Amino acid sequence: MFSGFSLKSGQNEDAEESVCTHPEERNHNLSEQTGQKCLFRVHPSVSQALAENKPVVALESTIITHGMPYPHNLSTAKEVEAIVRAEGATPATVGVIDGEVHVGLSSEELDHLARSKSSLKVSHRDLPYVISKGLSGGTTVSATMIAARRAGIPVFVTGGIGGVHRDGENTLDISADLTELGRTPIAVISAGVKSILDIGRTLEFLETQGVCVATYGGSRNFPAFFSPQSGFSSPYQVCNPEEAAKLIVSTLSLGLQSGVLLAVPIPEEHAAAGQMIEEAIQAAVTEASDKGVTGRDVTPFILQKVSELTAGKSLQANIALIHNNAKVGSQIACALSKQTTERKTRRHGQHSSDSESDIVVIGGINVDFIAKGRTKTLHFGQTNPGSVCQSFGGVGRNIADSLSRLGHKPLFISATGADSHSEAVLKYCEHMNTSGVARLEEQRTATYCAVITESGELGLGLGDMDVHQQITEQYVSRFEKQLSSATLVCLDGNIPISTINYVCSIARKHNINVWYEPTDSDKACKPFLSDAWKSLSYSSPNLAELCTMNKTLGIPTPEVLPNSLEEVLSVAVALSRPLLEHLHCLVVTLGASGVLLCGEHDAGSVNLQPRKQKRRRKLCAVHYPALTVTAEETMNVSGAGDSLAGALITGILQRRDTDSCVRMGLLAARLSLASPHPIAPTLTLDSVDPNKAQTQCWPKPSFMWID
């Protein structure tokens, strides 16, 4: 027998139902609630592009607030955004307005920053203060990198980065841009560093920080902003957008917590004035030193003085340089987007279209920690001897995994954080179609910890499941085409009620079969709070979940669940009857007592094949005893019910007879219980083929009529 385990995951996979923002607002809007306001706001055009995996280019705003005088600053900012759009990418200019970091600025917000006389220069160190005081300012390279990273933008274009100042070995005047490049995986496209800095020491410092530096174009010469040559060479060189994109992909794929600096030389036609500008820079540096200008005031002082000494030619060269960087950076962002999309397509085997996914599974994805004690009882408040292993679960993920191993290609729709747990679980799920899984910044990947006794009983379960509330109606609606053409859609109870209602409305409209896995007794009620449940075809509750479904519909249920098998079956049949007015079949999982199928009678059994036409049916129930699994054999209790569901669905879609479908499910559940993983890696069609599996004689099912 199943050692007392329910044939379900039994996981409490999310917190209470809560009001959720749109995925655009939580995935890329980073509306990080502090109780009063959100710290990051993402422009709708940017969040939409990110959601659709389209290229986005981040842009800094100190060039607007401190780099150029008005109106040149405003016109340049708008010209740069126009160049980005012309190259096929979406611009995301970053700035701080009234204590909120904006990723993507409206025309009015650009104008506000350009005209402001009180805007601050906001670097990494300044962000907390500026936000706490509700101030406004232009973001430097380091602050822009932080915002771009948190929004999920991998490409950032600027004019030039900061560096090690001259005499920096004594003053330790080193730009925060360099340390940010060493800890933030962003590709920064710039014209190198200004010649007012110590370029040699800047390159050495970047090497120490682990930053990959490459010159873009036909030479390895490292540019010095106004000049294509600084006298130093980059370690590497990339010749075109495709090579640059491959370098970025490699950096991100390795999981390195450092950035890439791509140095783009100023166009030759504007480099001619470089020598004159360099002479003006040297004069400005001397004057700054004589006047005691230090720290963050040095750069704007020198830029203003150089503009005066060159009669505006430095400003023209500066604008041309920024325009060129924007063009090159946008081309790199487009190439990166294309390569990323192609990698995902190859990974999921979707060489033509997503229409290959005839099944859609929507639900949770978790990182599970299973702790099994070595004693019959667990003593709380002290360390118990045992073993702990990590695996990857989640009801929706488990069912999609099971189906994938049994020969299907289900599209799995879910949400994770953008963290190491997410990277690990998606790597593990490479055999699945996870193109519908959103990776959300500022969210934690769901984790679940189950503590079981030596005898196999679940002692305690803890879950951090808030991210499941981000599987919203708005996010899932992006896959409406796949939903409306699916053979079957499977939902787990972790997703929000509004999402369940939306999917059920699609199913009703297109006559799609829906399988609802209620997950636990608290979530079982979700479809039954409205008429959505009438669009379900199948559901696989345990007895407690079946009670919840009935209670939600106002149907009396037992105060205490029965213990004897005869009473359990009687109650399960009685509670199934009202639901079968609309559902085609109920698969009631009874743990050690096996499985009870309730539905339409057909040739002495329950008909599992869906009937499209509504008509009065003769109802029956068939009880299948469980297969034997000893306590010593039991390693994991979190995926048996999901394995059962996946194998049952497979049998139904293969149009097998009812006995074969159920036996496939029971064999899959037994494999799961004996595996450290919720879904056994050994699960195959052959391993659950009742005619091939090595098992004892199949227990005879018992039949009963439903009034």
- Burial string for 472-488 (b: 16+ CB within 10 Å, else e) reads bbbbbeebeebbeebeb
- Of 85-94, 220-229, 281-290, the one with minimum mean pLDDT is 281-290
Q: Cα(480)–Cα(476) distance, rounded to whole angstroms?
A: 7
pLDDT at 19: 24
Per-residue pLDDT of 570-586, as tens digits, reads: 999 999 999 999 999 99
pLDDT at 11: 36
Using the predicted structure, report yes or no on whether residue 533 has a pLDDT greater than 50. Answer: yes
Using the predicted structure, report yes or no on whether residue 283 has a pLDDT greater than 90. Answer: no
Extended beta strands in 550-693, E state: 585-589, 595-602, 605-606, 619-624
Q: Cα(324)–Cα(334) distance, rounded to whole angstroms?
A: 16
| Residue 287 per-residue DSSP state | H
Among the listed residues 698, 685, 522, 693, the one whose alpha carbon sits nearest the alpha carbon of residue 595: 698
pLDDT at 674: 87
DSSP 3-state assignment of 646?
helix
pLDDT at 94: 97
pLDDT at 52: 79
Q: Cα(473)–Cα(504) distance, rounded to whole angstroms?
A: 11
pLDDT at 31: 40
DSSP 3-state assignment of 250?
helix
Using the predicted structure, report yes or no on whether residue 651 has a pLDDT greater than 70. Answer: yes
Q: Cα(598)–Cα(592) distance, rounded to whole angstroms?
A: 18
Average pLDDT in the 249-254 region?
A: 87
Q: Cα(407)–Cα(132) distance, rounded to whole angstroms?
A: 54
**Which positions are catalytic?**
60, 194
pLDDT at 3: 32
Extended beta strands in 509-658, E state: 513-517, 538-539, 585-589, 595-602, 605-606, 619-624
pLDDT at 230: 87
- Of 37-51, 144-158, 290-304, 493-507, the one with minimum mean pLDDT is 290-304
| Residue 2 confidence class, pLDDT cut points 50, 70, 90 | very low
- Of 99-103, 311-315, 353-357, the one with minimum mean pLDDT is 353-357
Angle at which helix 313-348 crosses helix 298-309, to 10 degrees, equals 120
Residue that has been written with the tokens 């969210």 in this structure: 443
| Residue 701 per-residue DSSP state | P
Provide the percentage of residues in the chain whose pLDDT is more than 90.
58
pLDDT at 179: 94
- Burial string for 315-348 (b: 16+ CB within 10 Å, else e) reads bebbbbbbbbbbbbbbbbbbbbbebbeeeeeebb
**CB of 666 closer than 8 Å to CB of 682:** no
Average pLDDT in the 67-75 region?
A: 88
pLDDT at 25: 37
First vs last C-alpha separation in the chain: 30
Using the predicted structure, report yes or no on whether residue 44 has a pLDDT greater than 50. Answer: yes
Per-residue pLDDT of 452-476, as tens digits, reads: 776 666 667 788 899 999 999 999 9
Average pLDDT in the 385-399 region?
A: 87
Structure tokens at 150: 């948190």
| Residue 40 confidence class, pLDDT cut points 50, 70, 90 | confident
Neighbours of 509 (CB within 10 A): 11
pLDDT at 86: 95
**CB of 214 closer than 8 Å to CB of 237:** yes
Average pLDDT in the 84-106 region?
A: 96
pLDDT at 615: 63
Q: Cα(452)–Cα(369) distance, rounded to whole angstroms?
A: 11
Average pLDDT of the chain? 86
Per-residue pLDDT of 168-181, as tens digits, reads: 888 888 999 999 99
Residue 492's φ and ψ, nearest 5 degrees, are -110, 160
Higher-scoring residue by pLDDT: 526, 388: 526
Among the listed residues 499, 211, 369, 152, the one whose alpha carbon sits nearest the alpha carbon of residue 514: 499
Q: Cα(456)–Cα(595) distance, rounded to whole angstroms?
A: 19
Using the predicted structure, report yes or no on whether residue 528 has a pLDDT greater than 50. Answer: yes
71: preceding bond cis by omega (within 30 degrees):
yes
Residue 656's φ and ψ, nearest 5 degrees, are -80, 165
| Residue 449 confidence class, pLDDT cut points 50, 70, 90 | confident
| pTM check: above 0.85 | no
Q: Cα(389)–Cα(385) distance, rounded to whole angstroms?
A: 14
Positive or negative torsion for Cα 303, 306, 311, 313: negative
| Residue 64 per-residue DSSP state | I
DSSP notation for 122-186: E-GGGHHHHHHHT--EEE-HHHHHHHHHHHT--EEE-S-B--BBTTHHHH--B-HHHHHHTTS--
Using the predicted structure, report yes or no on whether residue 78 has a pLDDT greater than 70. Answer: yes
pLDDT at 326: 96
Q: Cα(199)–Cα(426) distance, rounded to whole angstroms?
A: 41
Non-local (6+) Cβ contacts of 220 within 8 A are: 233, 234, 236, 237
Average pLDDT in the 376-395 region?
A: 80
Q: Cα(77)–Cα(4) distance, rounded to whole angstroms?
A: 66
Using the predicted structure, report yes or no on whether residue 323 has a pLDDT greater than 80. Answer: yes
| Residue 269 confidence class, pLDDT cut points 50, 70, 90 | confident
Structure tokens at 62: 């100190």
Neighbours of 606 (CB within 10 A): 25
- Name the residue type at position 98: D
| Residue 9 confidence class, pLDDT cut points 50, 70, 90 | very low
Q: What is the CA radius of gyration of the chain?
A: 31
pLDDT at 456: 61
